[in-house]
Structure 1
Amino acid sequence: MVLPPELPPLLLSLPPLLLLSLPWVPTEARTATVGVLAPREVSGLLGDTVELSCKLPPLEHEVHVTQVTWTRQDAAGNELNVAVFHPIQGASFPEPGRLEFVGARPGLELRDGSLALRGLRAQDEANYTCRFATFPEGSRSARTWLRVLAQPENKAEAEEVPLSPLSPEPVPVARCVSSEGRPPAQVSWSHLDGKTNESQVPGHQPGTYTVTSFLIATPSSQTDGKPVTCRVEHESFKEPILLPVTLNVPYPPEVSISGFDDNWYLGRREVALSCDVRSKPEPTDYDWSTTNGTLPPSAVAQGSQLLIQTVDESINTTFICQVTNALGTGQAELPILVREEPPNQAPQQGLSTLGIAFLIVGGLVFLALLAFLIRFWLSRRSRRDQHRSSANGHVSYTVVADIIASSSEDPPKENTK
C-alpha cells in the first residue's frame, strides 16, 4: 500500500495498523522486489531472537518513504499483519513485546525496516514480506522465508536383551534417540549388516520431534562386544554427531569338538574329546551322546570332557555334544575313524624316489671323503718314508767314510824293546 500524496492531518493521527485497513488505491503496477535488500531465507533456533533484515538503498531522485509494513503468510495463504512503522507515529504491533524495529526511529529518514523477533516459536516459521510505501514511486517489497530450528538432544546405548529363550530371529540390540529436534533429525548406524527400526513422535515442545532408531541384529558371539556408531545429522549441527556404542548381547551356545588327532588305533589308551563352547550366559548343562544313542562302554562323560579309557571298535562312531544355557541349546558332531594299528607299526613301503636320491647322494659324498682321507694318509706316509731313507743314507755314508779313513793309516808298529 502507498499513502496518497496529500494525507489529511486527521488521518495522520490514526494508528499505523488502522492505516493499513483504509481503502488506499493499490499500486501493484509500481510494486517490485528490485531495490529492497533482504535475504531470501533466515533461520533461528527455537526460543532465540532472530533478525529479519530489510533495507532500502538510497534512490537517485527524491523519494519519501511513508510507511514500512511487515506481513506474514499463514498456512492457508492469507496475509497477516505483523508490524508497521510510520515516520511520525512510530511502531505498531499486533503482539507487543516480541517484535522491535531495529533501525527505524520516528522523525528520521526511513530506510531501515529490519525487524527483530524474540522468543522464536515454531508457529513463527513462515514467509515474511517487507514492504516500503514511497511517494511518488509506489511500493517496493521483498520476501524472506523464516525457518525455525530446534537443536535436538541425542543419546545412544546398548539395548538390554532379556534372558529368555530366543528364536533365531533378529532382536533390538541398540537404541539411539534424538529428542526435541526441528525438523526431525536423520539417524543412521555404522553397523551395515544390521537392520533398523525407526519411529518419530511429537516432542514436548510444540513443533518439535523425537526420533528413535533401534539397531536390529541376530544374537551371536560375533554380535556381542562389537562396537557400533549412531550418526545423527541435523541442520543446526556444523557436523554430524557420532555416538559410539558397544553391544552387550546374550546368545545361545555355539559348540565345537576338539581332541581327535586322526591317530586313534585299536588298543590306544587314555584319549579324550573336549566340548568347546562360546556362550552368554555360561552353559548350564553338557550332554554327550552318539548317533547310535548311548555312549560306548569305554567312554565316560565329565562335563565338557569325554574321557575314553581304551579305543576299541565301539569308538568308531560319531560323537555329539549338546550344550544348554538360559537362552537355548547348541550342539556339534564329530565322526571318529579308528585305525587297526599305530602308524609306526604299519607295513613298510618301498622308499620314495626322493629318499633314494638322498641315499645315492649321501653315498657319493661318503666315498669322496673316504678317498680324500686315504690319499692324504698315503701322501703323508710317502713323505715320511723319504725322510727316513735320506737319514739312513747319510749314516751309511759316514760309516763307509770312517772305514776308508782308518784303512789308509799306517799299521801300528811293534814294540822292539
Structure 2
Amino acid sequence: MSDFTMINCCLILSACLLSSQAVWSQRVRVEPEVTAYPNGSVNLRCQFIDSGTTKLTQVSWMFERVEGDRHNIAVYHPMYGASFPNKDFEGRVSFTQGSLENPSIKISKLKMADAGKYICEYATYPSGNEQGTTSLIMLARPKNSATAVPVQAGSSEVVVARCEAAQGKPEATISWSTGVAGRYNDTAVPESDGTVTVKSEYRMIPTPAENGKEITCVVNQRTQNEPNSFPLKLVVQYPPTVTIEGYDSNWYMGRTDVVLTCQADANPAPTEVTWRAASGQLPPSVQVDQNRLLVRKVDETVNTTFVCEVKNSLGSGKKELVVMVIESTEDPSSAGMVAGAILGSFLALVLVSALVAFLVMRSRRHQHGYSGDGEQGAYGNKTRLFGGKKASKNGAGSNNNGPIYTYRESEPGALTEKCNEFPRMTGSTPTAHDILLSGELNEAERRKFDALNDSLDDEEEDERYDRFSGLSPSYQIHRHKDECTLYLDDDMESQRDGSIISRTAIYV
C-alpha cells in the first residue's frame, strides 16, 4: 500500500472518530449563553439526554475564566453526594435538584469576576466523559454622567464638556449632539473587575458668543432600554463688554429727568459699576443709581463726556458717551399742547371775524336799506313824502300836499317823480300804513310807524282831532286825474311848543 493511500485512510478514520464524539457530546444539554448582573444570581442548567445503556458515574461543573485554565466548582456523586472544592464559590454555589440526570446549579452573589465558561461534564461508562459548555456574561449598567467645563474665551482649542460611562459591561458608546463647531474623542479604560469605563471630551475654540449654547451627551449601552441623554450649557467666561443706552441726541437746556443706562455683557456677572465724567467729577445735577445715571435737569454742566466702567473677576470694560446739550426755549413734550392752543385760538379768531363781518353787513343794510327794484346801498332810491307849505298858526294849513318824490343818493339834489309807487287800491282809498308797506321804507322806519299807531287808541285820536281841527283820525289820500299826483288831506297838528307838523308826512 502506498504512503498516499495510508494517509487518506488515517484522515477518514479521524473524521469518523470526531463525528462520533460530536454525536455523543450532544447528549449533554446546556444553554450556550446566559447573562447576569453583579450581586444577582443565575441558574446553570445541565441534563443528560437518552442515556440508554450508558452508565452515568458522576457529574462535575468546571469554571474556565481563561482559556485552558479550568477549576472544579461543584461535583455530584450518587453515593457520596455533592462536593464544592473551589474556595471562590464557597457558599455561593449549590445543586438545584441533586441528581445525575439533572445536575443544574445555582450561583448567587455574583461578581463581575464570575464571568467566563462553565462546563458540565459527565463521567460515563463505557463512552467516557461527555460535556456541554455555557458562557456566563456578566453585565454591568454604567454609571453615566456629563458636565460642562468652564473655560475662558480665547483662541486655542480646549475641552468645554466631558461625558463618562463608568464601570459598564459591555463597554458603552458615547456621542455628542450640538450646533457648536468642535470635535470629541473617546477613551476606554478596563477595570479590575472586568468592567470598562468610557470617557469622552468635547473640544472647541471658545468665544463669548458660545456662552450658554446647548450641547448634549448621549450614552448607549446594552443594559439600557434607551439612550441616556445629558443636555448641557457651555460656560465660556470673559471680561465685560459695555454699552450705554438712553441718549437720544435731544438733550436741550432745561430738559428734566433723562436717564442713561450702563449695560454690561460679562461672565461671570459684573461685581462693580462706576460712572464718572471724562473731565473729573460728575456734574451736580447728576445722580448715580447702580448702573443708571439720572440727570434731573439738563444744563451746561451736562455738556460733557460720561464714562461707565464695569468690572468682574476676569477684568474690566468701559464705554464713553459724548453728550451735546442744545439750546431750546420750550419743552418738546408740550409741543402738542402748544399746537392745540394755537389751533384753538385760530378757530376762535375765525369765528369772531365771521361774527363781526355779519354784524357790519347787517348794520350797513339797516343804514342804506334796499331799493324798490332790489338794489342796495348808495345806489338805491329813497322815497320821501313831502307835505304842503308851512302851516298857519291856527293849525289849518293850506292843502298843498305834494306827490311822493324819490331821489338817488349818488345824485345829490336830483329829484325824480316816480309813478305807481303805491299799488292801486281797488274799492278803497290807500291809507298811510299802505304807503309804508309799499316796500320803499326801511325796516327802522316801519317799526317806528307801527309803534306810533299801536300807542294811539281811538279815544285819544278823537280827543286830539276834536281839540285842534275836528278832523277824522284816518288818513285820506285822494288821487287826481294825473296818476302820478297824490294828495293828502290837510292833517296838520299843533304841538305844545307852538309848532305845527303834518300827520301824514314821514320825516327821516
TM-score by length of 2: 0.44
Q: How many residues are matched?
A: 302
Instruction: State the partner residue of 2:113.
Output: 123
Amino acid of the structure 2 residue aligned with 1:90: G
**Contact 2:299–2:325 (Cα < 8 Å) also in 1:** no
Q: Counterpart of 2:112 in structure 1: which amino acid?
A: A
Is 180-189 or 119-128 further displaced after alignment? 180-189
Counterparts in 2 of 1:210 and 1:78: CA distance versus 1, 3 Å: same
Shift in Å, 1:129: 2.6
2:270 pairs with 1:282: yes
Corresponding position of 2:104: 114
Q: 1:141 is paired with a residue of what secondary structure?
A: strand
* Deviation by residue 1:169-226 (Cα, 9 ceiling, x = unmatched): 78878776665544455566666648778777677x84455666677785969746x8
- Which of 29, 34, 48 aligns to 1:42? It is 34
What are the residue-to-residue correspondences of 1:35-114 with 2, within 5 Å? 35-58=27-50, 61-75=52-66, 77-82=67-72, 83-95=74-86, 97=90, 98-105=92-99, 110-114=100-104
Q: For residue 142 of structure 1, what is the amino acid of its counterpart?
A: G
Query: CA–CA distance in 1 between the matches of 2:185 and 2:153?
Result: 19
1:273-331 Cα deviation digits (max 9, x unpaired) = 42222444333133668xxx86999897946346784699x88x9x8754211233345
- Structure number with greater CO (CA < 8 Å, separation at least 6) is 1
Structure 1 residues 288 and 198 mapped into 2: Cα distance closer, same or farther (>3 Å)? farther
Is 1:256 aligned with 2:247?
no
Q: Aligned AA for 2:312?
A: N
Confirm or deny: 8 A CA contact 1:266 1:341 kept in the other structure: yes
Change (3 A) 1:130 1:113: same
Distance 1:288 1:195 in 2: 45
Work out whether residues 174 and 216 of structure 1, in 8 Å CA contact, stay in contact via their aligned partners in 2. yes
Does the aligned pair in 2 maintain the 1:265–1:311 contact within 8 Å?
Answer: no
1:325 is aligned to: 312
Q: What is aligned with 2:139?
A: 149
Report sequence identity in percent.
32
Correspondence 1:149-298 to 2 at 5 A: 149-153=139-143, 166-168=152-154, 180-186=167-173, 193=180, 206-208=193-195, 223=211, 233-240=220-227, 252-261=239-248, 264=250, 269=255, 272-279=259-266, 280-286=268-274
Cα distance, 1:192–1:65 mapped onto 2, change above 3 Å: farther
> Could you report, residue by residue, the CA deviation over 1:379-403 in whole angstroms, capped at 9, with x for unpaired residues?
xxxxxxxxxxxxxxxxxxxxxxxxx
**Residue identity in the other structure for 2:21:** T
Kept in 2, the 8 Å contact 1:185–1:233? The answer is: yes
Task: State which structure, 1 or 2, has the greater radius of gyration over its C-alpha atoms.
Answer: 2
Flag the 1:340–1:118 CA change in 2: closer, same or farther, 3 A: same
Cα shift at 1:144: 1.9
Q: For the structure 1 residues 324 and 102, does the alpha-carbon distance in structure 2 shift closer, same or farther, using more than 3 Å as the test?
A: same
Q: Secondary structure at the match of 2:113?
A: helix
Equivalent in the alignment of 1:379: none
> In the TM superposition, what are the counterparts of 1:323-402 in structure 2 within 5 Å?
323-331=310-318
Change (3 A) 1:213 1:304: same
- Structure 1 gaps of 5+ residues are 1-26, 346-417
Q: Secondary structure at the match of 2:102?
A: coil
- Deviation at residue 68 of structure 1 after TM alignment: 2.9
Query: Are the structure 2 counterparts of residues 126 and 202 from structure 1 closer, same or farther at C-alpha, using a change threshold of 3 Å?
Result: closer
Is this contact kept in 1: 2:264–2:270, CA < 8 A? no
Q: How far has the Cα of 1:44 moved from its partner?
A: 1.7
* Structure 2 portions without partners, runs of 5+: 1-16, 333-508
3-state SS of 1:31 partner: helix
TM-score (normalised: structure 1): 0.51
The alignment yields a C-alpha RMSD, in angstroms, of 5.4
